[in-house]
Amino acid sequence: MKCAFCESKDIQSRVIVRNELAFAFPTNIPITPGHVLVCPKRCVATFDELTNEEIISIMNLRKQLRESLKKVFGAKGFNYAWNEGGVAGQAVRHIHLHIVPRKEGDSGITDYEPRKFLYRPGSRETSPDTELNQVVALIMAGLK
């Protein structure tokens, strides 16, 4: 099987909603009830490979699903995420947006401090302005 999202009959049978360029289905290992994935129909690994039309289609499904998840699961907030590349945790090489409905009392990640949320344990001091200004200059140079 090349791509589980494209070829799995189980996943395809659980599609919640689709439009011309994207589809959504529940993940089989949810963080919270209602955790769904939104994928482009075209199998690409990274966000940058998506066309503008595919991005709009994915975001339209995100908006549609958000309203349903609020009604059905009482969601008061959401986590949205995607992983690109194996080193970032991408297990299926078909880009997909995670929509995780959240409400008071959820289990799982509840501390949204970015270093903990993005798997960087331990503390780090606030970067001095000089260091941040150097980072700005480096990134700006890379944009040229």
Q: Phi, psi (5° rounding) for residue 121?
A: -70, 165
The rounded Cα 29 to chain-centroid distance in angstroms is 14
Q: For residue 15, what is the DSSP state?
A: -
Q: What angle do CA 105, 65, 94 make, to 5 degrees?
A: 100
Report the alpha-carbon distance of residue 8 to residue 3 in Å, rounded.
8
35 is catalytic: no
Q: Which of 35, 94, 96, 98 is catalytic?
A: 96
Any idea which residues carry the catalytic annotation? 96
